[in-house]
Structure 1
Amino acid sequence: MSGGSRWKTWLPPVGAALLFLIVWQLSTMWFDVQKWILPGPIQIVQEGITQWPRVWMHTTTTIQLTLIGFASGIGIGLITAIFLHQFPWIKRALYPFLILTQNIPIIALAPLLLIWFGLGLFPRIIIIIIVCFFPVTISTLNGLRLTDANMLKFMAMSGASKRQTFWKLELPHAIPSLFSGLKISATYSVMAAFIAEWLSASEGIGTYMRTANSAFRADRVFIGIIVIVAFSMILFGCIVLLEKWFTRWKTAK
C-alpha cells in the first residue's frame, strides 16, 4: 500500500476523532459543565499526566491478570475443541453446556467464585477463562469441521493415519478460524479482567475506576476507560500480526 493510500485510509477516522474532541472540549467550556460531571479532554489529559505513576501501577496489574487469563483461556479452548472434534458423540452431549456457560452473567457468577475460591488471583483468572475459552472453542471447531472433503479423501487414500490427517491437514486449515476466535477473546479478556478487578481486587484498572467512581472523579474514570480501550486495541493488534504470520502460506499460493 502506497503512502497516499495509507493517508486516505487513516485521514477520515483521525479527522473525525479530532473534530469530536474539539467539539467536546468547546462544549464543556461554553456550557460551563462541572468537571465532576463531564471533564473536557484537556482536563483528562492533565489529570492523566498527574496520575500517571499510580495509573501505570494499576495498569501493569491488569495487564498481568489479562495475559494469564487470556493464555489459559486459549489453551483450554483449543484443547476442548480438539477433544470434541475427535469424539463427536461427546461433542453432541457437551455442546449445549458450552453454550450455557456463556448465558450466565459474569456479574452474577463472580460473587460465587469469590465465595468458593476466596479473594485471591485464582477466581479472577477463572472469570477471564470463562469468557475467553468459548470463542476459541467454537471457532476452532468450525474450522476443523470445514476442512476440505476432497483433501480428507486424498489423505485417506494416501494411507495417512487419523493423527497425521489431523496435524497435517485439519489443524493447519483451522488456523484462520482459530484466529477469528482469538480476536474476539482478546477484547473480551480485557473487559473480564476489568470486571473481576472492580468486584474484588485491591489493584488494577478496575479498582482504580471503582475508587474514582466512588469519589465522583469523572476525569479519572475517563483515564481508566482510555487505558482499557488502548490495551484492548494493542492486544487485538498483536493477534492480527500473529494471524498474518501464521497464515502467510495462504497468500503465498
Structure 2
Amino acid sequence: MKQIKTGWRPVAAILLLLVTWEAAGRAADIPSWLLPTPSQIWLEAMAGWVDYKLHLFSTIKLTLIGFLLGSSIGITAAVCLHLLPKLRETVYPLMILSQNIPIIVLAPLLVIWFGFGILPKLIIITLVCFFPIAVATLDGFRQTSPELLHYLKMAGADKRQIFWKLEWPTALPALFSGLKISATYSVMGAVISEWLGAQRGIGVYMTLASSSFRTDRVFVAIFFIMVLCLLFFVIIITIEKRVIRWKKKGAEQHG
C-alpha cells in the first residue's frame, strides 16, 4: 500500500512531461524529423514492431550473456581480492585505471584484435559491468562487524566458516547495489557494442534510423533502451528481496 501511495508521483511526472511535450510540439508545429511528438513515436513503435523485434531480442540476448559474464567475473574478483590482501594492493589500482579508458575508444581496438563476432561485444559489456560489482562487493566485505568477527574467532571458526557465515552475508546488500548499477550499464554496453558492426540489435536499428533522419525511430530505440534498463533493475530488486529477507526482518524488529 505504501508503494502505491508514493508510486503515483513519478508516474504523474512522466505523464505531465509527455503531455507538455505533445502540446509544445503541436503548438510550435515542429517537424517530425526534428522532434517528433510522443503520439508520433507511439504510432511508429506500434507500426514498426515487425521491423525491430528481432533487433530487440538480439540486444536482450547479448545483454543477458554479457551481464552474467561480467557479474561472475566481478564477484570472483572481489572474493579473491578480499581473501588475498597482497593481491588486492597490487590489482585494485589497476582496476581503477581500467575504468579511465573510454569504451568508445577501446571498442575499435577490440574489433581489430577479435573481429566482428560476439567476443568483442561481450568484452565491452563485461568491462562495463564487472567494476561496479567488484568495488561494491569489496566495500561490503569491509563492513563486516569486528565484534562478530572476534566472536566467531573466539568460538573456533576457521576462515571458511567466517567467510560463509559472516563476511559473505554482510557483503550481500552491497553486492546487490553493484548488480543494480551494472544491470543498467549492461544495456548501454550492449548498444555501444552493436555499433561496432553487428547485424542486429537496438544499436544497429538506432544507427540506421539516425542515418535516414527517422528521428521517430531513434526515439523508439531510446524508449526500448529505457524499458530494458528499468526491467533489469526491477528483476535485480526482486531477487534481492528474496535473497536478503533477513535484512528486512532485522529492520522490522529494530523498528
Distance in 1 (CA, whole Å) between partners of 2:112 and 2:6 is 50
Q: Does 1:182 align with 2:173?
A: no
2:138 to 130, 136, 141: 141
Q: Which moved more, 1:190-199 or 1:217-226?
A: 190-199
Q: Does 1:38 align with 2:41?
A: no
1:53 deviates by 1.6
Distance in 1 (CA, whole Å) between partners of 2:210 and 2:222 is 12
Distance in 2 (CA, whole Å) between partners of 1:64 and 1:239 is 17
Q: CA RMSD in A?
A: 1.1
Q: Does 1:228 align with 2:225?
A: yes
Q: Quote the residue 1:47 is aligned against.
A: 44
1:21 to 12, 18, 23: 18
The aligned amino acid for 2:48 is: Q
Residues 72-114 of structure 1: CA deviation (Å, up to 9, x unaligned): 0000000001101111011001111000111000000000011
2:54 to 54, 57, 62: 57
- Superposition misfits of 4+ residues, deviation over 3 angstroms: 5-8
Query: Contact (CA 8 Å) 1:198, 1:209: kept in 2 or not?
Result: no
Q: Quote the residue 1:81 is aligned against.
A: 78
The aligned amino acid for 1:251 is: K
Query: Contact (CA 8 Å) 1:209, 1:221: kept in 2 or not?
Result: yes
2:240 to 231, 239, 243: 243
Distance in 2 (CA, whole Å) between partners of 1:12 and 1:172 is 34
| Residue segments in structure 2 that go unaligned for 5+ positions in a row | 251-255
Q: Quote the residue 2:119 is aligned against.
A: 122
Residues 129-148 of structure 1: CA deviation (Å, up to 9, x unaligned): 00100011011111111101
Percent identical pairs in the alignment equals: 50
Distance in 1 (CA, whole Å) between partners of 2:161 and 2:84 is 16
Q: Quote the residue 1:103 is aligned against.
A: 100
1:167 deviates by 1.2
Query: Contact (CA 8 Å) 2:111, 2:196: kept in 1 or not?
Result: no
Distance in 2 (CA, whole Å) between partners of 1:187 and 1:143 is 20
Q: How many residues align?
A: 250
1:159 deviates by 1.1
Query: Contact (CA 8 Å) 1:38, 1:218: kept in 2 or not?
Result: yes
- With the length of structure 2 as denominator, give the TM-score of the two structures: 0.95
2:110 to 106, 110, 113: 113
Q: Does 1:171 align with 2:168?
A: yes
Residues 148-204 of structure 1: CA deviation (Å, up to 9, x unaligned): 111111111111111111111111111001001001101110001010112221100
Distance in 2 (CA, whole Å) between partners of 1:92 and 1:31 is 59
1:8 deviates by 3.4
Q: Quote the residue 1:210 is aligned against.
A: 207
